């Protein structure tokens, strides 16, 4: 039984030893990572330029040789630098000659579409409304002219009929006068 009691204690001791070994391995990995981070920081510091870069400079990390690629626009030229090598490209060679005209044409087209088109539509609608009003006025004038013509014809017709009535009345009066003169009136009747 004595060996049975020691057996659990030896297992606990083995577990402690295994945990200590794992902790030591983790500490070794952490130390190696810290060393790599420090080396990377030293390499980055070595690559960093000693003098401050001018505004507008674009920096690309190098190809492992420790030299960064810098792009800058200076005096109307594009300047490319890597280490001791510097290349200057005139800006007129970078921007094609027709690109400026094309960009102005594109801007004018966009302005025409988004500003000019609604203005042109508003003007066209105003002109159309005026045309409709003029056509309506012309139609109203035509209707009034037709009504005046109809009224004139009706008045002429009434005048002719009135003249006929007066003629008929004169004729009747004349007949009655002629009859009364031809036939004496009987007082006996």
Average pLDDT per block of 10 residues along the chain, 189 residues long = 53 88 93 89 67 71 71 81 81 74 90 88 88 79 90 94 94 89 64
Contact of 69 with 87, CB cutoff 8 Å: no
Radius of gyration of the chain (CA): 58
pLDDT at site 20: 92
Q: Against a cut of 0.75, is the pTM above it?
A: no
pLDDT at site 186: 59
The CA-atom distances, in angstroms, between 188 and each of 20, 45, 179, 181, 184 are 172, 160, 19, 18, 12
pLDDT at site 185: 57
Compute φ and ψ for 77, nearest 5 degrees. -130, 155
Query: What does the alpha-carbon distance between residue 117 and residue 123 come to, in Å, rounded to a whole number?
Result: 10
pLDDT at site 96: 76
pLDDT at site 4: 45
pLDDT at site 3: 46
pLDDT at site 51: 64
- Both tokens of 26, joined, read 């983790």
pLDDT at site 50: 56
């Amino acid at each position: 039984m004595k060996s049975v009691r020691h057996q659990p204690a030896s297992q606990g001791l083995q577990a402690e030893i295994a945990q200590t070994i794992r902790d030591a391995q983790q500490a070794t990995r952490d130390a190696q990572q810290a060393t790599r981070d420090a080396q990377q920081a030293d390499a980055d510091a070595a690559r960093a330029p000693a003098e401050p870069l001018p505004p507008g400079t674009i920096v690309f990390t190098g190809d492992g040789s420790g030299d960064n690629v810098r792009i800058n626009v200076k005096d109307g030229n594009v300047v490319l630098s890597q280490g001791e090598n510097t290349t200057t490209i005139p800006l007129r060679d970078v921007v094609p000659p027709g690109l400026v005209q094309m960009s102005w044409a594109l801007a004018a087209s966009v302005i025409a579409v988004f500003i000019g088109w609604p203005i042109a539509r508003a003007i066209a609608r105003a002109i159309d409304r005026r045309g409709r009003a003029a056509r309506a006025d012309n139609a109203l004038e035509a209707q009034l002219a037709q009504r005046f013509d109809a009224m004139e014809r009706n008045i002429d017709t009434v005048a002719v009929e009135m003249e006929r009535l007066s003629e008929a009345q004169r004729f009747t009066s004349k007949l009655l006068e002629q009859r009364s003169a031809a036939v004496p009136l009987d007082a006996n009747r």
